[in-house]
Chain A
């Protein structure tokens, strides 16, 4: 098992995305660093559009993630409803 990870800029939009990630992935580890937030989890991490929209209180396009994204590790799979990071080991 290896960890997948994603890092976001520490700002108002990311705060809701991080909350949504925590809700969708209860075992994820959230690490706060200067100006950035890193979230990691064994094997798989999912960001669900519906959950982010609930947290933000507005429509959210999964591709908006690009604006606040810093880095990631894992195989990406993205569609209209979710963004998945995964190792296929």
Chain B
């Protein structure tokens, strides 16, 4: 008699319950040594439910199908000189930021989920984390593969991995993940699984990838959406984790709330660079950062927090500040990169008049008042042959490691700075949010590897900034950096397109 075909609920139950075993002669606390120190109380791992109920056979089947589709498109992209179809060579600089700043995070996520996928004693959570770990490894591989085509034709891609571990602005995403990975397994899940995956990656992979499609970049939109098809499962895991922790024990609620407060703040800081990519680096616009923020954070995040209110969870701390920031941060970040364009691994530029008008239209309350005059000044300076580059190195926030570029949200003419003393040393921050995070765990954040401090301490070569950029960062100075105007990237593009 043929075996009855199992339905997905039965298959999933057999995988996540039947295959596990109890520890009869070893101490389970030794097998799962990180499960208790954070104070999280789990009374019954059997209550864990994965709503997708994905089993390994289905996982491999659908992942293989996704890979086949993706690689067919990447081959076609490469064989048909797909790089020539991007709308404008300026766009490719957003892809450079992606490869140096985001793809290595996929690798860190792979390492992080492999770790927690070993450390939870509940088998359902272990299976979900191991699948996510494999997904993240797939993401970094497909991204490197997709962008390797651009590396053949554009500058700034060649040392992405080396740069990720050293360059001043790349320490922002890098330290975000090392912070999460050096936390306990439950905090990692709230940091990456919930805060980052559930709300924040949407802003990177959905409107930005739609923007890549709109700018003729078939390779990026394809790997982006292929990654995002896994992301929907990751988001669901993030939501299940938080509901599970909150349902297991009431003592978990304040711990989880503290992590939510911390990681939403850390995440919004991290997304500053995505805000800038959307508003300034996509020549064909899909939506402004502010609009994307309203759809994916305020609307989607608002619905999520209303759903979690029944557990006593409230909106993240400083949500009121975050709401005001959507009007400002993309402009403040691009201005910082424009003025530090000699020290960036990609090209910067003044927005075109048409783009300035678009920004005025999208940011009616702030752009003309605070930011457009800066670009008008930059245009005057450039016309006189005095394109501005700052000669100083920026002060960095001890927590998020972003240069002190943010202003007070109620007074955008005033830089936002906070400081506190710990163990006789004074530490500096960009915001109350970052200062609070430090004060909660000062022993952790005093160890931060701050790129500018390291330069001044003589740990990054030198003595000149140029030496540090070329020898320590491995940037091709005068080629990878500076304004797009007259860059080798632009010169090659004009030659390909037959423009004088």
The answer for the CA separation of A35 and B210 in the assembled complex, in Å, is 6
A63 touches B239 (CB 8 A): no
A71 touches B (CB below 8 Å): yes
Closest A residue to B5 by beta carbon equals A80
Q: Is the CB of B235 within 8 A of A72?
A: yes
In chain B, residues 293-333, which have Cβ atoms closer than 8 Å to a Cβ of chain A?
Answer: 299-300, 302-304, 306-307, 309-310
| Nearest 9 CB-CB pairings of A with B | A2-B303, A35-B213, A76-B51, A34-B214, A34-B213, A69-B232, A73-B300, A70-B228, A34-B210
A interface residues, Cβ below 8 angstroms from B: 2-5, 7, 9, 33-36, 62-64, 66-80, 87-89
CB-based contact A71/B65 at 8 Å = no
Contact at B302–A35, with CB atoms within 8 Å? no
* B229 within 8 A of partner (CB): yes
Question: Is there an interface contact between A63 and B54, defined as CB atoms closer than 8 Å?
Answer: yes
Which residues of B in the span 408-434 have a Cβ within 8 Å of any Cβ on A? none
Asked if B45 CB lies within 8 Å of chain A CBs, one says no
Tell me which of B51, B235, B307 contacts A87 (CB under 8 A).
B307
A78 pairs with B306, CB closer than 8 A: no
A3 CA to B211 CA, complexed, in Å: 24
Contacts of B65 in A (CB 8 A): 67
Which of these, A3, A7, A64, A80, contacts B7 with CB under 8 Å?
A: A80
The CA-CA distance from A33 to B229 in the complex, in Å, is 17
B residues sitting closer than 8 Å to A (CB atoms) are 7-9, 51-54, 58, 62, 65-66, 69, 202, 205-206, 209-211, 213-214, 221, 225, 228-229, 231-233, 235-236, 239, 286, 299-300, 302-304, 306-307, 309-310
Partner of A75, one of B69, B239, B300: B239
B225 with A2: CB separation less than 8 A:
no
Alpha-carbon distance between A4 and B51 when the two chains are bound, in angstroms:
16
For B231, what are the chain A residues with a Cβ–Cβ distance below 8 Å?
A: 70-71
Instruction: List 22 A-B pairs, Cβ < 8 Å.
Output: A2-B307, A3-B299, A3-B303, A34-B210, A35-B221, A36-B210, A36-B213, A66-B62, A67-B229, A69-B228, A70-B228, A71-B206, A72-B232, A72-B235, A74-B303, A75-B239, A78-B53, A80-B9, A88-B307, A88-B310, A89-B306, A89-B310
Given contacts A2-B303, A67-B229, A72-B232, contact A36 B206 (CB under 8 A): yes
Q: Contacts A34-B211, A63-B8 hold; do A71 and B232 have CB atoms under 8 A apart?
A: yes
Whether B52 contacts A78 by the Cβ 8 Å rule is: yes
Report the separation of the CA atoms of residues A81 and B304 in the bound assembly, to the nearest whole angstrom: 26
Inter-subunit contact A87/B205 (CB<8 Å): no
Contact, CB under 8 Å: B232 / A2? no
In the assembled complex, how far is the CB of residue B112 from the closest CB belonging to chain A, in whole angstroms? 21
Contact of A77 among B51, B206, B235, B299 (CB under 8 A): B51
Contact of B235 among A63, A64, A71 (CB under 8 A): A71
Residue of A nearest to B69 (CB): A67
Residues of A near B62 (CB, < 8 A) are 63-64, 66-67
Given A35-B221, A73-B304, A75-B307, are A7 and B52 neighbors across the interface (CB < 8 Å)?
A: no
User: Cβ of A76: which chain B residues have Cβ within 8 Å of it?
Assistant: 51-52, 236
CA of A29 to CA of B296, assembled, Å: 16
| New contact pairs (5) apart from A2-B302, A89-B310, CB-CB < 8 Å | A36-B210, A69-B229, A70-B231, A71-B235, A80-B9
